[in-house]
Amino acid sequence: MGTKRKLATFLCIVFCLALFAGCKKAAALAEYEFGDDKIPSVNAVLGEDRKVIGTGTGTTNGVRYKEYKYQTETMRDDMVRYVIQELLGPEGWLAISDFNFDDLSGEGKIAKNSLEEGKILIMTITFDLTTYNLKIEKGQGTLTPN
């Protein structure tokens, strides 16, 4: 096996291990932290472990984001309990787009003012029958409820 192939294999293994470690760490989170803002995690609210199959962080057009992807057999129940009963309830988030967890797949957006003056948190929830993805963004803006 050539040196380049060995290096490529080694880098692939390191990448896979880092991805696995990131997913395992995300599953154990009690909350998603974004600076001073803390959002209860899916597993903390549900009181059960949902399998994290992907995580990510980055910046798009100057807006920072964190992303968590979960696998489940109970998407609708999870989302009703987490989004509707917890985030839109006592956590004070507001729906900023229409969504229906009875659909087989879809997307919804909820938002909340950040603890940082002049910033807003937006959570985009994409879902299908067996997975859901939470993308939390923090950028400039304010939210004024009607």
Cβ count near 35 (within 10 Å): 12
pLDDT at 105 over 80: yes
Tokens of 73: 């057999």
Q: Bigger pLDDT: 16 or 58? A: 58
For residue 22, the enclosing domain spans 3-140
Write out the DSSP string of the chain: --HHHHHHHHHHHHHHHHHHHHHHHHHT-SEEEETTEEEE-HHHHHSSPPEEEEEEEEEETTEEEEEEEEE-S-HHHHHIIIIIIIITTTT--EE-S---TTSSSEEEEEEEE-SSTTEEEEEEEEE-SSEEEEEEEEEE------
Indicate whether 29 belongs to any domain.
yes
Predicted TM-score (pTM) of this structure: 0.80
Per-residue pLDDT band for 138 (boundaries 50, 70, 90) equals very high
Indicate whether 129 belongs to any domain.
yes
Indicate whether 73 belongs to any domain.
yes
Indicate whether 57 belongs to any domain.
yes
Per-residue pLDDT band for 4 (boundaries 50, 70, 90) equals low
Q: Bigger pLDDT: 29 or 140? A: 140
**pLDDT exceeding 90 applies to what percent of the chain?**
73
What is the rounded average pLDDT of the residues 103-112? 96
pLDDT at 145 over 90: no
How many structural domains comprise the chain?
A: 1
Q: Which residue has the tokens 């992907």?
A: 54
- Of 19-28, 47-56, 123-132, highest mean pLDDT: 123-132
Indicate whether 36 belongs to any domain.
yes
Q: What is the pLDDT of residues 21-50, one digit of tens each?
A: 444 444 557 899 999 999 999 999 998 888
Indicate whether 146 belongs to any domain.
no
Indicate whether 58 belongs to any domain.
yes
- 139, 119 in Cβ contact below 8 A? yes
